[in-house]
Amino acid sequence: MAPTEGLHAARARGRNTRQLVHELLRSRIISLELAPGASLSENDLAAELGVSRTPVRESLILLGEEGLVDVYPQLGTFVARIRERDIAAAQFIREALECAALRDAVGRATRRDVADLRELLAAQADTERRDDPEGFFRLDEEFHARLMAAGGHPEAWPVVSQAKAQLDRARRLSLPLTQQLSLLIGQHTAVVDQLEQGDLDRADEALRSHLRLVFTDVQTIRAEHPELFAEPEAPVRPRREPRRRVDRAGAGEG
Amino acid sequence: MAPTEGLHAARARGRNTRQLVHELLRSRIISLELAPGASLSENDLAAELGVSRTPVRESLILLGEEGLVDVYPQLGTFVARIRERDIAAAQFIREALECAALRDAVGRATRRDVADLRELLAAQADTERRDDPEGFFRLDEEFHARLMAAGGHPEAWPVVSQAKAQLDRARRLSLPLTQQLSLLIGQHTAVVDQLEQGDLDRADEALRSHLRLVFTDVQTIRAEHPELFAEPEAPVRPRREPRRRVDRAGAGEG
DNA sequence: ACTACAACACTTGTATGGTAGCCGACCAGC
DNA sequence: GCTGGTCGGCTACCATACAAGTGTTGTAGT
């Protein structure tokens, strides 16, 4: 595969290299293709992607602002380990914003909005039948985004999305484990039902318990994959990759 | 004045050039020292600050993510005009997060928390007596930050702060106009009072109306300073500075 | 065997050079 | 006078070179 082709091809569509690299790395981090703690060298990434250090570096700075990577000057850049604090903060932000938007959506959402949401629910049910969790993730994202748009606050979605990224990293582990797609879809449906009926408090409660379920899921994951999480009170001083000994004789790694 | 000295002196305190430039520009934009619509050239800024283009550029990218500047490739970077959408979104985000944090603070805040808040209120009253709106701004910032900390969500403050930045730009105009410092302080006090008494709904209401007042203030400003705002539906295609005609006769400088 | 030390490889941070693209100004032609 | 084309200067974007700092690691000394 030649990833540079994909990059340069997309550049024609009005997005610059920095944005492309940013999105690429972001998706790799959220999907855990890049595991927490992994080292991200500007040089290596630039070489791998066939671009210069500049856009890579700028992407890493942005990811650092999002809390997805930790940059230690003169030491290295690492995929951020999942921190209890960050998870809790993300959960708080998400819950506050999504529920507030939903409350605004009650009595404001049009029939068209509701119809669109129900269409998404049907599509989500499809992904369950096809056993396509990846597809569900995309539709889940869209569902929550549209819910906020129905409340008249589409601009706030990026903020939620950023918080969500922290949760999603751990969630990727939980979903295939629990296989709770039908449960999640049921909760989505409940939210839309209450929204349609105009019951403000019940809608809020439905969405809140849904978000909380995802949150508690993350907590259970922690016991199973402690290596992905940061120690509670041990500020991780990451280790540099031990240098591979350039030993001609036995270095035949293929 | 030699701003470069301040920069390089502060560099010793563990902050790199990018962060310093970022903070500097951010404060200048929020204080309206850099007016909406103003052009920000990487070259000019680098020359003015005595650093290279790299940290300046990286700062501008970050400011772009915050919505404080608009970057038009191959055209220029401009201080973002105040957009109705951005203001509304910022208000929504701020209200949702601060009120949610306050609700958590009720029944959780310690006596120490309340005492600290009251100390801030006293200091705010001082700034009113001394007619020091700049000082009030700082204390206001700290008050709201501590309120969120009292709710157990200090990590969410940066998100609020970023949203607040959009509002503050317009607020800078409104405050000296209205001279409502005492009113604002009174509202702050009401929030703390309800928090201390443990009345959840009244605390929420007190904070919400406080935040709304600030918001409506911004709206009144719009009529007086339309040039700082963007047209509702006209995506501003910013103009480049007209070139000064190089007229030999009258331009004998140097 | 163990420790102190010094060179090294590698990191991010900063500075600078070159490129594609856009806009305003200028000018020929109508 | 007005319009279309061209030119020049400016922009952000990307690439590259240099600087400053850190942990590892091999080594000499004890």
Is pLDDT larger for residue B130 or for residue A4? B130
Which residue out of B18, B58, B93 would a mutagenesis test of the A interface target, given it has the greatest number of A Cβ atoms within 10 Å? B93
- The arrangement of secondary structure in A12-79, i.e. its CATH architecture, is Orthogonal Bundle (1.10)
pLDDT digits (tens, 9 = 90+) for B159-201: 999 999 999 888 877 666 556 788 999 999 999 999 999 999 9
Please state the three-class secondary structure of A179-232 as a single string: CCHHHHHHHHHHHHHHHHHCCHHHHHHHHHHHHHHHHHHHHHHHHHCHHHECCC
Q: Tally the residues of chain B.
A: 254
- The integer distance in angstroms from the CA atom of A71 to the C1' atom of D23 is 16
Is pLDDT larger for residue B232 or for residue B239? B239
**Residue A43 CB lies within 7 Å of the nucleic strand C:** yes
Does position B246 have pLDDT exceeding 50, yes or no?
no
Cβ–Cβ contacts within 10 Å for residue A194, how many? 20
**Residue A240 CB lies within 7 Å of the nucleic strand D:** yes
Q: What average pLDDT is seen over chain A? A: 87
**Residue A53 CB lies within 7 Å of the nucleic strand C:** yes
Q: Nearest residue to D16, CA vs C1'? A: A52
- DSSP codes joined into one string, B209-246: HHHHHHHHHHHHHHHH-GGGBPPSS----PPPPPPPP-
Class of the CATH-defined domain B84-228: mainly alpha
Cβ–Cβ contacts within 10 Å for residue A116, how many? 17
Distances (CA, A) of B225 to B82, B85, B171, B181: 11, 17, 12, 21
Is pLDDT larger for residue A7 or for residue B16? B16
> In this complex, is the C-beta atom of B35 within 8 Å of any C-beta atom belonging to chain A?
no
CB A184 within 8 A of CB A140: yes
CB B73 within 8 A of CB B60: no
Q: Tally the residues of chain A.
A: 254
Does position A234 have pLDDT exceeding 80, yes or no?
no
CATH topology of domain B11-79: Arc Repressor Mutant, subunit A (1.10.10)
Does position A237 have pLDDT exceeding 70, yes or no?
no
- Chain B residues with CB-CB distance to A59 below 8 A: none
Does position B3 have pLDDT exceeding 60, yes or no?
no
pLDDT digits (tens, 9 = 90+) for A201-230: 999 999 999 999 878 877 777 877 777 788
Quote the CA–CA distance of B92 and A185 in Å, as a whole number.
28
Return the domain boundaries, chain B.
11-79, 84-228
Nearest-by-CA chain B residue for A102 = B96
